Amino acid sequence: MTNLSLAQSYLRKAQARSKLLPILLGEQDYSDTIREAQEIVELCLKGLLRHVGIEPPKWHDVGGLLLDHRERFPSETAETLERLAGISKWLRKERELAFYGDIDFIPDEEYDRADAERAMADADFAAVVARRIIG
């Protein structure tokens, strides 16, 4: 499997998962909406990295690597890469809390519709960028 075909596979997986977000949001399952959005963004960003020949690491926030290798991307994507890196950082921070919570953090009580809608919009943005670049 080539980097390109694996990048396209990541994009297909992200697009399939994105169909779940409106369902989760409709069920008022805001924390799972955030968790799934994070996975979509991660797949999109790792697909972008693979597309330009970078083997992504096995950690969740790869936004910094997009910035480290910005010269491999079209020059008009500089602001886009900055935004994607910020999205990745935010969702990575929320990843475990949204799924597992903590003794003083109950995900169902802490996240609201606005948080979930932000995560959905960010995942949609990442998918649009990935489709545009990966194809």
The CATH number covering residue 65 comes to: 1.20.120.330
Span 28-49, pLDDT tens digits = 999 999 999 999 999 999 999 9
> Distance from CA of residue 29 to its chain's centroid?
18
Span 86-122, pLDDT tens digits = 999 999 999 999 999 999 999 999 999 999 999 999 9
* Residue, of 35 and 76, whose pLDDT is higher: 35
- How far apart (Å, rounded) are the C-alpha atoms in residues 44 and 50? 10
Distances (CA, A) of 51 to 14, 18, 76, 103, 130: 15, 20, 17, 40, 9
- State phi, psi for 84 to the nearest 5 degrees: -60, -40
Residue listed under structure tokens 């955030």: 34
pLDDT band at 2 (very low <50, low <70, confident <90, very high): low
* pTM of this structure: 0.94
Range of the domain at 43: 3-134
Domain count, the chain: 1
